Structure 1
């Protein structure tokens, strides 16, 4: 089994207040607001990919269009969606090349009630995780978030970036 940092409890209620009452986290991040800092792994004119602030798995990334969109079904035409998914695929491959990965989970989460800005989650399941702690259990913050410090997150981001640009 891959060495994952330990997990700490996550205050879901506080998080829900932040995402439903605060600014759009992706727009705030793209605008450079310090309270919304993340470790970037990829960026171009249209898209940004960054490590999750509250990761449940090491290397957990979010990929988002920089422009505020809320629905990939209604707000993106097919060519734009396919370009975006091309970035999602490149980032996922870089994560998997950086960290031992049994399965790459990929999903679009969020809602009009919180985290409305379109973003894709990429969560690398390490080998050896027991089946009852895989899939939804592995990505739910309610089951704890990794105790990973800022320097460690930056090192992971740097390694992933190196796989993308190398």
Structure 2
């Protein structure tokens, strides 16, 4: 991962979520789930195994003021379902769920679902585990496809 290029693209390029959801080939991600209102997809540069992003399918920039109560609850229930699937597949010690981005880059509201692997040393937990500056997992497209399929199956198996 070229962190400088990523930052430049996030700040000056088109919305990566909208472009991905439109099917643009240069912005492909591995789709995990789509309920018609929200999409979940694998992070291209995960810092922990099974890291998933969840976003509303329409462009929303403020998670609090741009969503009414019902839309917020639907989004968070979708995030929870995806997080439960990630936990089933990856068996993390702890699951981090957080929203990042700003009006200066990655403005489309999205949630990160990141499972902390068991045995992670204490000083490499929390923010350290989530920062690309500390390295990203290099996985083949075949491995990412297989992971996305396992996550889709775990979602299907939920009651």
1:165: Cα distance to partner? 1.1
The answer for unaligned runs of 5 or more in structure 2 is none
Partner of 1:140: 131
- Report the Cα distance in structure 2 between the residues aligned to 1:59 and 1:79, rounded to whole angstroms: 28
The TM-score, its normalising length taken from structure 2, stands at 0.97
- Corresponding residue number in structure 2 for 1:65: 56
Greater relative CO, 1 or 2 (CA 8 Å, sep 6+):
1
Show structure 1 runs of 4+ deviating over 3 A.
none
* Correspondence for 2:47 among 56, 61, 75: 56
Aligned equivalents of 1:147, 1:52: Cα separation in 2: 11
Partner Cα separation in structure 2 for residue 86 and residue 100 of structure 1: 20
Cα-to-partner distance string for 1:8-32 (whole Å, 9 max, x where unaligned)? xx42211111111111000001100
Query: 2:113 aligned with 1:122, yes or no?
Result: yes
How many residues end up aligned between the 2 structures?
A: 157
Q: Aligned to 2:93, which of 97, 102, 106?
A: 102
Mapped to 2, the partners of 1:159 and 1:105 lie a distance apart of: 20
Instruction: Quote the Cα distance in structure 2 between the aligned partners of 1:109 and 1:154.
Output: 25
Partner of 2:17: 26
Distance in 2 between the 1:110 and 1:159 partners?
28
Distance 1:58 1:156 in 2: 9
Which of the numbers 151, 156, 159 marks the counterpart of 1:160?
151
Structure 1, unaligned runs of 5 or more: 1-9
TM-score by length of 1: 0.93
Secondary structure of the 1:128 match is coil
For 1:15, the equivalent position in structure 2 comes to: 6
Q: Deviations over 1:87-125 (max 9, x none)?
A: 000000000000121000000000011100000000011
